[in-house]
């Protein structure tokens, strides 16, 4: 069964009093693309998180955010005390030389480049954090997949309904195509008789048959109807399969539209043209829907 590329999932993990909160949002995209936003202290996890997301989600634009709550200051950042002391002393000397009263703002000094740096955990702590974050990420992926499956079921239902509408249009076109030739022959015969009535000349039956045969050959859409029916069958099989069907469905829908355009260009019957327009509207809607199929 097909699934959607849209979904949301979140989860929370605990380690030594700190909470690791993961949020994942996914939307449709032609390929897989991940945007991973991490606190500076755990940027070493980015590669592993991206691999996990690609392995589990396969396709779509995935926005991943990790937030750390209730963590101690020591685990989040370090202060370069030597650099801070040097900056404060230099500013103090400058203030003394200028003979002005200007207290040194410690808060401002902390914003200087290199004073506050992310705290990098030791190897053991890094492994513990990695296990917790990746486990929490897997937990957040589960509800996202469930949402994708639910939306995929709704998509499959809509696609099936539109394919059924196309099948009904095809049946009417097939029925109408035979009658259209008969009507064309009658109209052609009547029109020629009207034009030649004054000259008291009658059209040769062989000539009329040849003209109708030429039109029949030019407007023959039996191959296009057969191919379109085959595409509908392949489309249904792809929707029912377990593979990632998004790109396949997109390609099949393009081929369906191509056959519909050929039918419209070949036919000179008004009813067939109207049915083809309705069919193309259904196919266009299908093409829009399959853009969100994984």
pLDDT in tens, 280-292: 999 999 999 988 8
Judged against a pLDDT cut of 90, whether residue 270 lies above it is answered with: no
Q: Which residue has the higher pLDDT, 273 or 52?
A: 52
Label residue 123 by pLDDT band (50, 70, 90): confident
Q: How far apart are CA 66 and CA 8, in angstroms?
A: 14
Q: Retrieve residue 55's tokens.
A: 């392995």
Please give the pLDDT value at position 198: 57
Neighbouring C-beta atoms of residue 167, cutoff 10 Å: 15
CA torsion sign for 5, 10, 14, 17 is positive
Query: pLDDT at residue 23 above 90?
Result: yes
Does the structure show a pLDDT above 90 at 141?
Answer: yes
Higher pLDDT pick, 80 / 148: 148
How far is Cα 184 from Cα 271, in angstroms, rounded to an integer? Answer: 13
273: exposed, middle or buried (Cβ count in 10 Å: 0-12, 13-18, 19+): middle
The token pair that represents 152 in the structure block: 């995929």
Q: How confident is the model at residue 61 (pLDDT cuts 50, 70, 90)?
A: very high
Query: Does residue 217 have a pLDDT over 70?
Result: no
**Per-residue pLDDT for 137 more than 90?**
yes
Q: Is the pLDDT of residue 73 over 70?
A: no
Mean pLDDT for the chain overall: 81
């Amino acid at each position: 069964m097909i699934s959607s590329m849209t979904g949301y999932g979140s989860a929370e993990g605990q380690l030594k009093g700190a909470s690791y909160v993961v949020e994942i949002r996914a939307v449709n995209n032609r390929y897989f693309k991940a945007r991973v936003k991490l606190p500076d202290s755990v940027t070493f996890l980015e590669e592993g998180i991206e691999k996990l997301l690609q392995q589990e989600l396969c396709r779509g634009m995935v926005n991943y955010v990790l937030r750390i709550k209730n963590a101690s200051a020591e685990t989040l950042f370090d202060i370069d005390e030597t650099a801070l002391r040097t900056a404060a002393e230099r500013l103090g000397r400058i203030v003394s030389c200028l003979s002005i009263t200007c207290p040194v703002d410690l808060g401002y000094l902390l914003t200087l480049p290199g004073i506050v740096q992310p705290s990098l955990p030791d190897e053991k702590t890094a492994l513990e954090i990695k296990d917790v974050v990746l486990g929490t990420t897997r937990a957040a992926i589960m509800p996202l997949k469930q949402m994708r499956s639910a939306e995929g079921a709704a998509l499959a239902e809509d696609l099936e309904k539109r394919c059924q509408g196309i099948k009904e249009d095809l049946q009417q076109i097939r029925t109408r195509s035979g009658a259209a030739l008969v009507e064309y022959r009658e109209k052609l015969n009547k029109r020629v008789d009207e034009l030649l009535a004054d000259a008291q000349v009658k059209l040769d039956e062989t000539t009329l048959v040849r003209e109708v045969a030429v039109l029949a050959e030019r407007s023959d859409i039996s191959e296009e109807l057969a191919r379109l029916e085959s595409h509908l069958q392949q489309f249904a099989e792809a929707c029912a399969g377990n593979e990632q069907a998004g790109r396949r469905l997109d390609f099949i829908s393009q081929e369906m539209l191509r056959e519909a355009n050929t039918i419209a260009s070949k036919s000179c019957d008004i009813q067939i043209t109207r049915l083809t327009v309705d069919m193309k509207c259904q196919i266009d809607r299908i093409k829009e829907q399959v853009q969100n199929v994984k």
